[in-house]
Amino acid sequence: MRAPLSWIRDYVDLPADLTADELAHRLTMLGLKLEALERPGHDMTGPLVLGRVLEFVEEPQSNGKTIRWCQVDVADANGTGEPQGIVCGALNFAVGDLVVVILPGGVLPGGFEISARKTYGHVSAGMICSARELELGEDHDGIMVLPPDAGEPGDDAFGVLPLRDEVIEFEINPDRAYALSLRGVAREAALEYAVHGDGATYHDPADRPVPEPNAEGYPVVVDDLEGCPVFVARRVTGLDPQAPTPLWMARRIQLAGMRPISLAVDITNYVMLEMGHPIHGYDAARLAGPIRVRRATEGEHLTTLDDADRVLSAEDLVVCDDSGPIGLGGVMGGATTEMSETTTDVLVEVASWDPVSMFRTGRRHKLTSEAGKRNERGVDPTIPEAAADRVVELLVAHGGGIAHPGVTKVGRAPAPRTITIDVDLPARISGIEIAAETTVSSLEAVGCEVAVEGDRLTATVPPWRTDLTDPYDLVEEVVRIVGYDRVPSVLPPAPAGRGLTRDQRLRRRVGRTLAGAGYVEVLSFPFVGVDDLDRLGLDAADERRTVLTLANPLSSEQPSMTTTLLPGLLETAARNAGRGQADVALFETATVTLPHEAGPAPILPVDRRPSEGEFADLDKALPAQPLHLGLVVAGERERSGWWGPGRAAGWQDAVGAVREVARALGVEVEVRAVTRAPWHPGRCAEVRAGDVLLGHAGELHPKVCRAYGVPARTAAAEVDLDALLRLAVDVTPAPSFSSYPVAREDVALVVASTVTAAEVEQALRDGAGDLLESVRLFDVYEGDQAGEGRKSLAFRLRFRAPDRTLTVEETSAARDAAVAVAAERCGAVQRA
């Protein structure tokens, strides 16, 4: 809501020295938030005066333009009293017209300084201004010609024209619909000065005598009084369709953020801004028979005045005449009865509409309008007659019309609402000490009538406060008037908490582990598209292609919720590579969305708690959203330097990182080779813990690296972190270890290349018996000496007994037993 300060002052006697800044600040603290403060015209300086065109000579120019060399009387404003010679490019004025002249030394908006200058063969000593140059409107077809009685030559234009003002733009919350009007803003200003200042008298623009309804009014029938509880119609005939909108009115409409159009339309808008009640004007000559308000028939058509053909729903409220619908009630008028430049007979409609119906119709037809915005939030149902009367007054005064004696009124405003609360409720909820009298006077200040009975009070809500429905609404009114700044600061007495949950603690551990291992955490948007999944090389049946799609995605390229963290991570790696950072190790923990066949989520009642079954139904409708850990490592994992060459990232980094995380959580994982996109078919590890599949890690398929633009041999992993966290060890049992000497045995085993290290290691473990303390692979050799298609794996076995020093014989026997199992299971041959 944009409110010019001069307009606010029409309804409230604010202190003369009050600045717009201060008023805006004080109203912000009261609940009308300052959005912006503008000072139109304040960057314009004189001499800017009225002038009368004494004579001019038209001079055609070689460029095809015609200019006028004018002599303009500006009286003594130029210091000489002689006519001012000015070149003017406009042709829309005549000798004797009163115009606005800026003399040399003046400055127009935008810092445009005026000086005498030579142009078209004359010295032009100033400029005749257009409305646009003065920022009084959009009109730039010609200069501004003032009404003959606007003033005298030489008068200071700032005293004649509404050039300067201060406009406060408020952000109006949905509950304060009454403040979408000067009436409401002024009321808040008066309230502020009544409560926190010396008082300020408020003049309600809607408080005016109105004629009684009578039988001579335009016939109106309302079929749906719930949808349209009040319908008032007045009529003005004999309008001069050419009558201009007075400058002050056009200026106020413009400053309030709307566009002046024509006198009749401007008046309806002006009164809407003034009182907050939307108004519709019909060209009465184009109406066919009586007006009827009803719900539309499903499929009925209406062309609204934005020339859109709209198919109506049975829920829409329509205004009809004998021709059918002529308007979407309260939202937008129809084209057939629209006022035009030939309209001389106007029917003024001021009607109250059901806000919910307004909201639905506006949304259904994607219509937002100044009228709709007010009607869907709720307007004062007691002022339609006053608003209609004000429109009639202005049409008569400025359009030369005659007020028709007929006054139509159908329905009536609902009885005022009452709310009963404990007198001390505002104090109890706010924590401020508020005396009972203060509570009462605050509610009275916002317009309530208050009756106190014992420790209860009943407030009768003023009709413009359609938002006040609940006891706590009254609390807010009292507290904002007492002052939010008076709320004391007290810590609540929370009971002893249990700290972070197990999962919350473990997730922190995962992040710290990876950061400690050199990984950088990133955040990605969870949106994904078919192309992203194609680039991963997923086949058609891959379960990661089953995505939840958004009805209104921001990008049609990525319309779905992702099932894997890898696309986001790979994009991020590629972005880093593009910025000269190809060597990256990235990780992300985020939920992925795995949809399953599900019914709709119910819309449950809100007047009670849902049953356990209903609550469960909500969750059943939601997709699974497990927390995943994804990581990508590209380029050099270890840098080259003075210590020697670096080490390129590879599958082992991805597998190693997953193992590292599992170790941090105390989870024993096993790894086996599998084939799965987007990994290299020979370099992909499946990570499991027992029969729980945790995820995959390894080097990416070269095609994937190329498709995503990441360095060749980029490695990646993705793990179901929720599954991993479930397996985490909660209480680590303390180890018991022997202090007897250790016995080491190294064995080199030659096996077929296809045999995995994990298999051999497991065989050694199984064969070595209880004396085995640890096994560690320390070398892999695949050269000639191992033989074609074979490799040599060197393990160090450590043996120790809990109760004695092992003999050489015991150690050798254990080693031989281990090797024997490896030989049996893996075909291992011990190298000499």
Partner 1 sequence: MSGPNSDYDPVEVTPLKAEEVEAMREAALAAIAAAADLDQLKEVRLAHAGDRSPLALANREIGALPPQARKEAGQRVGQARGAVNQALAARTEVLEAEHEERMLVEETVDVTLPVDRLPRGSRHPITTGSELIADVFVAMGWEVAEGPVVEAEWLNFDALNLGADHPARTMQDTFWTEPADHHVVLRTHTSPVQARTMLTRTPPIYVVCPGRVFRTDEYDATHSPMFHQVEGLVVDEGITMAHLKGSLDHFATAMFGEGIDTRFRPSYFPFTEPSAEVDLRCFVCRGVAGEVETCRTCRGEGWIEWGGCGVVNPRVLTACGIDPERYTGFAFGMGIDRTLMFRHGITDLRDIFEGDVRFAAAFGTEI
User: Which residues between 349 and 388 bind partner 1 (CB under 8 A)?
Assistant: 355-356, 359-360, 363, 376-377
Residue type, 293: V
Burial class (CB in 10 A: 0-12, 13-18, 19+), 438: middle
Q: Are 630 and 471 in contact (CB under 8 A)?
A: no
Using CB under 8 A as the binding rule, whether residue 257 contacts partner 1 is answered as: no
- Mark the segment that binds partner 1 (CB under 8 A) among 326-334, 450-458, 601-609, 809-817: 601-609
Using CB under 8 A as the binding rule, whether residue 112 contacts partner 1 is answered as: no
Structure tokens, 715? 């490695």
Identify which of residues 177 and 747 has a Cβ nearer to partner 1 in the complex. 177
Within residues 615-674, the interface with partner 1 by CB under 8 A covers 615, 618-619, 621-623, 625, 637-639, 641-643
Among 512, 706, 744, 804, the residue binding partner 1 under the rule CB under 8 A is 512
Among 137, 151, 537, 610, the residue binding partner 1 under the rule CB under 8 A is 610
Cα–Cα distances in angstroms (integers) from residue 678 to residues 542, 543, 544, 561, 684, in the given order:
11, 13, 11, 19, 9
Nearest-approach distance from CB 642 to partner 1, in angstroms: 6
Residues 6+ apart with CB under 8 A from 648: 635, 636, 637, 713
Nearest-approach distance from CB 246 to partner 1, in angstroms: 34
Nearest-approach distance from CB 168 to partner 1, in angstroms: 16
Identify which of residues 643 and 737 has a Cβ nearer to partner 1 in the complex. 643
Among 244, 511, 709, 787, the residue binding partner 1 under the rule CB under 8 A is 511
d(CA 669, CA 664): 12
Q: Are 424 and 479 in contact (CB under 8 A)?
A: no
Residues 6+ apart with CB under 8 A from 97: 52, 53, 145, 146
What is 396-463 written as a DSSP string?
HHHH--EEEEEEEEEE-PPPPPEEEEETTHHHHHH-S---HHHHHHHHHHTT-EEEEETTEEEEEPPT
Structure tokens, 269? 């808008």
Nearest-approach distance from CB 622 to partner 1, in angstroms: 6
Q: Which residues pair with 751 in a beta bridge?
A: 791
Among the listed residues 386, 409, 404, 406, the one whose alpha carbon sits nearest the alpha carbon of residue 239: 404
Among 16, 215, 540, 603, the residue binding partner 1 under the rule CB under 8 A is 603
Residues 6+ apart with CB under 8 A from 230: 351, 352, 381, 384, 409, 410, 411, 412, 413
Identify which of residues 184 and 334 has a Cβ nearer to partner 1 in the complex. 184
Nearest-approach distance from CB 376 to partner 1, in angstroms: 6
Kindly write out the interface string for residues 571-590 of this chain, putting x where it contacts partner 1 by CB under 8 A and - elsewhere.
-x--xx--x-x-xxxx---x
Structure tokens, 610? 């849902």
Within residues 298-357, the interface with partner 1 by CB under 8 A covers 355-356
Using CB under 8 A as the binding rule, whether residue 780 contacts partner 1 is answered as: no
- Mark the segment that binds partner 1 (CB under 8 A) among 442-450, 603-611, 739-747, 763-771: 603-611
Using CB under 8 A as the binding rule, whether residue 435 contacts partner 1 is answered as: no
Structure tokens, 386? 């006053």
Helix (H, G, I), strand (E, B) or coil at 787: coil
- Binding-site size for partner 1 (CB under 8 A) equals 110
d(CA 76, CA 518): 82
Among 209, 498, 541, 734, the residue binding partner 1 under the rule CB under 8 A is 498
Among 15, 81, 148, 602, the residue binding partner 1 under the rule CB under 8 A is 602
Q: Which residues pair with 499 in a beta bridge?
A: none
Among the listed residues 359, 366, 388, the one whose alpha carbon sits nearest the alpha carbon of residue 306: 366
**Please, where are the H alpha helices in 332-424?**
355-364, 370-377, 384-399
Nearest-approach distance from CB 429 to partner 1, in angstroms: 6
Residues 6+ apart with CB under 8 A from 32: 170, 172, 176, 179, 185, 188
Using CB under 8 A as the binding rule, whether residue 415 contacts partner 1 is answered as: no
Within residues 62-91, the interface with partner 1 by CB under 8 A covers none
Using CB under 8 A as the binding rule, whether residue 613 contacts partner 1 is answered as: no
Among 64, 79, 299, 492, the residue binding partner 1 under the rule CB under 8 A is 492
Identify which of residues 343 and 589 has a Cβ nearer to partner 1 in the complex. 589
Nearest-approach distance from CB 479 to partner 1, in angstroms: 5
Nearest-approach distance from CB 596 to partner 1, in angstroms: 12
Identify which of residues 588 and 686 has a Cβ nearer to partner 1 in the complex. 588
Using CB under 8 A as the binding rule, whether residue 445 contacts partner 1 is answered as: no
Residues 6+ apart with CB under 8 A from 358: 330, 331, 372, 375, 376
- Mark the segment that binds partner 1 (CB under 8 A) among 146-154, 162-170, 604-612, 765-773: 604-612
Nearest-approach distance from CB 522 to partner 1, in angstroms: 3
Among 16, 415, 606, 808, the residue binding partner 1 under the rule CB under 8 A is 606
Using CB under 8 A as the binding rule, whether residue 36 contacts partner 1 is answered as: no
Among 60, 111, 299, 600, the residue binding partner 1 under the rule CB under 8 A is 600
Identify which of residues 84 and 572 has a Cβ nearer to partner 1 in the complex. 572
d(CA 273, CA 279): 10
Identify which of residues 66 and 418 has a Cβ nearer to partner 1 in the complex. 418
d(CA 444, CA 718): 64
Within residues 552-571, the interface with partner 1 by CB under 8 A covers 552-554, 561
Among 504, 738, 754, 805, the residue binding partner 1 under the rule CB under 8 A is 504
- Mark the segment that binds partner 1 (CB under 8 A) among 160-168, 454-462, 466-474, 726-734: 466-474
Nearest-approach distance from CB 586 to partner 1, in angstroms: 7
Using CB under 8 A as the binding rule, whether residue 120 contacts partner 1 is answered as: no
Q: The tokens 């400690």 sit on which residue?
A: 516
Burial class (CB in 10 A: 0-12, 13-18, 19+), 258: middle
Residue type, 515: A
d(CA 410, CA 754): 92
Using CB under 8 A as the binding rule, whether residue 530 contacts partner 1 is answered as: no
Within residues 173-202, the interface with partner 1 by CB under 8 A covers 173-176
Helix (H, G, I), strand (E, B) or coil at 32: coil
Cis peptide before 83 (omega within 30 of 0): no
Q: Are 444 and 477 in contact (CB under 8 A)?
A: no
Within residues 701-730, the interface with partner 1 by CB under 8 A covers none
Nearest-approach distance from CB 516 to partner 1, in angstroms: 6
Nearest-approach distance from CB 140 to partner 1, in angstroms: 33
Q: Are 687 and 696 in contact (CB under 8 A)?
A: yes
